[in-house]
Each structure stands twice: as C-alpha cells, then as structure tokens.
C-alpha cells in the first residue's frame, strides 16, 4: 500500500490525526462541508430555470402582439408546463394571471388560455 502524505482537513487545512480516510479534522468542519455541498445543489434549480425559460419562450412565440387567446392544448403540444411560473397576479374580479417572467396567461372556460405580457411601469 502507498504511504499517503499526512492528509489535511478539506475545510480548514489542519492536519488530520487518526484514520487515513478522514477528510475533516473535526465534526464541525465536516458539518460545514455538508452545508456547503447542500447549498451548491444546482441540479434542481437549473432544471426549474430551464422549464421557466422554456415556458416563457412558448408564451412569447404564441403571443407576438402582447395579447392573444389560444387553446390549452396548443400550449401543451409545445411542451408548456403549467406547474411552473415565476409569480402570479389577482385582479379585483378574482382572475389569476400566472407569469413566467414577463409573459403571462390566465385560464378560462377550462380549455382556453388568454396570453398577456407584463409591461414595465
Ligand atoms: Zn478542519
């Protein structure tokens, strides 16, 4: 077996005493490492961002004029995912508009979708 160099803690760089396969000097350094790993976890965020951007592009491509009625199946056939939106907006009449960034929509009569665009104020 190779004689490994004395290993150093991945977090603080202190030499590690004890078992050779240890990566951290103390439990507190180990827990810091695990917290940092958790924070990284880019997979889920990346996926959701990709879905939101795709949704936004679909809304935008179907709505060149800024306001248009389409069918729900038109959106679905392009791969629109109704689960994801960035924010929503309730009108006084109780209609909820869902937005993916600047592109929004509201559902009505079950199968129809009114596409709108948020304009900067
Ligand atoms: Zn350490």
- Comparing 7 with 112, the larger pLDDT belongs to 112
CA atoms of 75 and 38, how far apart (whole Å) = 35
pLDDT at 19 over 80: no
CA atoms of 38 and 112, how far apart (whole Å) = 41
Cβ atoms of 7 and 22 closer than 8 Å: yes
User: How many Å lie between the centroid of ligand 1 and the Cα of residue 65?
Assistant: 59
State which residues have CB under 5 angstroms from ligand 1, the bound ion.
9, 11-12, 14, 25, 29
For the chain, what is the mean pLDDT?
A: 90
Confidence at 41, pLDDT banded by 50, 70, 90: confident
Which stretch of 9-13, 17-21, 54-58, 115-119 has the lowest confidence by average pLDDT?
17-21
Three-class DSSP category at 85? coil
Residue 66 — left, alpha, or beta (φ > 0 → left; ψ -120 to 50 → alpha)? left
pLDDT at 111 over 70: yes
* Model pTM score: 0.66
Which uninterrupted H or E stretch holds 34?
Answer: helix 27-40
In eight-state DSSP terms, residue 84 is: -
């Amino acid at each position: 077996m190779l004689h490994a160099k004395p290993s150093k803690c991945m977090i603080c760089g202190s030499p590690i005493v004890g078992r050779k396969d240890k990566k951290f000097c103390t439990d507190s350094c180990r827990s810091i490492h695990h917290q940092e790993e958790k924070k990284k976890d880019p997979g889920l965020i990346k996926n959701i961002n990709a879905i939101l951007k795709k949704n936004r592009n679909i809304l935008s491509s179907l709505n060149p004029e800024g306001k248009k009625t389409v069918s729900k199946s038109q959106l679905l056939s392009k791969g629109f995912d109704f689960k994801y939106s960035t924010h929503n907006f309730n009108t006084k009449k109780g209609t909820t508009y869902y937005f993916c960034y600047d592109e929004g929509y509201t559902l009505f009569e079950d199968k129809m979708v009114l596409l709108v665009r948020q304009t900067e104020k």
